[in-house]
Amino acid sequence: MSATSGLDKKLIKCVVWDLDNTLWNGVLLEGDAVSLRDGVLDVIAGLDERGILQSIASKNDYDLAMAKLKEFGIDEYFLYGQINWNSKAASIKTISESINIALDSVAFIDDQIFEREEVSYTHSEVLCIDAADIGRLLHQPQMNPRFITDDSRRRRKMYLSDMARREAEATFAGTQTEFLASLGMKITISPAGKEDLKRAEELTIRTNQLNSTGYTYSFDELAEFIDSEDHELLICELEDKYGAYGKIGLALTELKPERHILKLLLMSCRVMSRGVGAILVNYIMVRAKNAGVGLLAEYIANKRNRMMYVTLKFAGFREIMRNGEEVLLESDLSGLQEFPTYVDVNILTKDSEQNVRNQACTGKRNQ
Question: At 263, is the pLDDT very low, low, confident or very high (cuts 50, 70, 90)?
Answer: very high
Question: At 203, is the pLDDT very low, low, confident or very high (cuts 50, 70, 90)?
Answer: confident
Question: At 208, is the pLDDT very low, low, confident or very high (cuts 50, 70, 90)?
Answer: low
How do residues 1-57 score in pLDDT, each as one tens digit?
A: 334 433 445 789 999 999 999 999 999 999 889 999 999 999 999 999 999 999 999
pLDDT of the residue at 283: 95
Residue among 299, 291, 275 nearest 333 (CA): 291
How buried is residue 99: exposed, middle or buried, by Cβ count under 10 Å (0-12/13-18/19+)?
buried
Q: pTM of this prediction?
A: 0.77
49-63, 121-135, 266-280: segment of lowest average pLDDT: 266-280
How do residues 284-309 score in pLDDT, each as one tens digit?
A: 999 999 999 999 999 998 878 888 99
Question: At 209, is the pLDDT very low, low, confident or very high (cuts 50, 70, 90)?
Answer: low
As a whole number of angstroms, the distance between CA 143 and CA 154 comes to: 17
> ∠ at Cα 339 (336, 344), nearest 5°?
155
Residue among 104, 109, 53, 60 nearest 86 (CA): 60
Residue among 356, 361, 364, 358 nearest 341 (CA): 358
- Mean pLDDT value of segment 194-210: 84
pLDDT of the residue at 4: 42
Please provide residue 163's backbone torsions phi and psi, each rounded to the nearest 5 degrees. -65, -40
Where does residue 21 fall: left (phi above 0), alpha (psi -120 to 50 degrees), or beta otherwise?
left
CB 155 within 8 A of CB 244: no
pLDDT of the residue at 362: 39
**Which helix (H) or strand (E) segment is 110 a member of?**
strand 106-110
Residue 77 CA to its chain's centroid (Å): 18
How do residues 347-363 score in pLDDT, each as one tens digit?
A: 998 764 444 444 443 34
- Sketch out the chain's domains with CATH numbers: 14-143 (3.40.50.1000), 175-356 (3.40.630.30)
pLDDT of the residue at 10: 77
CB 57 within 8 A of CB 107: no
pLDDT of the residue at 366: 39
Instruction: State how beta strands 24-25 and 35-36 pair.
Output: antiparallel
- Mean pLDDT value of segment 74-98: 97
What order of strands is seen across the sheet that includes strand 326-331?
318-323, 326-331, 294-300, 259-267, 243-255, 231-240, 185-191, 343-348, 353-356
pLDDT of the residue at 356: 45
pLDDT of the residue at 100: 86
